[in-house]
Amino acid sequence: MKVLRTVAEVRQWRTSAGTVGLVPTMGALHDGHAALVERARGENDAAIASIFVNPTQFGPGEDFAAYPRSEDADLALLETHDAAAAFVPSAEEIYPPGDDTRVMPGKIAETLEGAARPGHFTGVATVVAKLLAIVTPDRAYFGQKDFQQLRIIQTIARDLRLAARIVGCPIVRGPDGLALSSRNAYLSDVERATATALSRGLMAAERAFESGRRDADDLRSLVSAELEVWGLSAEYISCADPVTLQELSGPVDRAVLSLAARVGKARLIDNALLGIRLQDLDQL
């Protein structure tokens, strides 16, 4: 596996790589990332993962400094899963001196995580636009776990007429149901047990939806009821349009149920798609 550190090295590598699948990451890789790399490898001649803890997507009080970093283990994981290359740039390589351009994702970024974390999605959109311009992949792979992020990147790729297809991949969960996340490293054993309420709440609502419950408020309530049992209070529990991320009310045909909650030091998110498949969201 090639470890590339500069834009010039990536461009050079790209010329003979064939079709390429890009997996943008912030490192601290887990089985969720591994699934993205496997998918990228299966659908393209070569998979490349980027490892870059992007400063512009962290707010002032957030965990940029504390965010887990484990480059050696990350590179070993990528090699195990047959990535052809890893792109591990310095901050200056991504944000050159004088850098002042930002990609603004519009209304889809104003709700949910965008409301909770002002500026977060401008940072995400900007760094992903740069990575897509550097690598020029045929496809780029993002996890459903950060569902609003996935939809924002799909929307930006559509609007900016990027050639890359933005592929969403299902959430990978631990045996206890907790969605894999680099931030799970912040959890104690007790906190981790508590955190499993998030996925149980979403699954309860999903089962209810499948057996005919359609009211957005009802579905949200089913999630919050499970959280309350465990003494968790969510930052938000949302039942939103899965294309535009605008909040829904009344009966819903298709929706994304999503939530954010603090468990100990960790701020966790999770979601479930109702009435629509992940693969139907690309290019909507």
Site residues (vs its own copies, CB under 8 A) = 7, 11, 94-96, 98-108, 125, 129-130, 133-134, 136, 155-156, 158-163, 244
Q: Which is nearer to its own copies, 15 or 211 (CB)?
A: 15
Contact 50/23 with Cβ under 8 angstroms? yes
Q: Nearest distance from residue 158's CB to its own copies, in Å? A: 6
Task: Look up 81 and say whether it is catalytic.
Answer: no
Q: Which is nearer to its own copies, 42 or 106 (CB)?
A: 106
* Structure token pair of residue 21: 């699948």
Q: Nearest distance from residue 131's CB to its own copies, in Å? A: 8
Q: Nearest distance from residue 124's CB to its own copies, in Å? A: 12
Q: How far apart are CA 162 and CA 138, in angstroms?
A: 10
Q: Which is nearer to its own copies, 98 or 175 (CB)?
A: 98
Q: Which is nearer to its own copies, 106 or 275 (CB)?
A: 106
Q: How far apart are CA 162 and CA 132, in angstroms?
A: 8
How many angstroms from the chain centroid is the CA of residue 66?
A: 19
Q: How far apart are CA 72 and CA 230, in angstroms?
A: 37
Contact 150/112 with Cβ under 8 angstroms? no
The H or E element spanning position 40 is: helix 31-43
Q: Nearest distance from residue 90's CB to its own copies, in Å? A: 13
Contact 235/248 with Cβ under 8 angstroms? no
Catalytic residues: 33
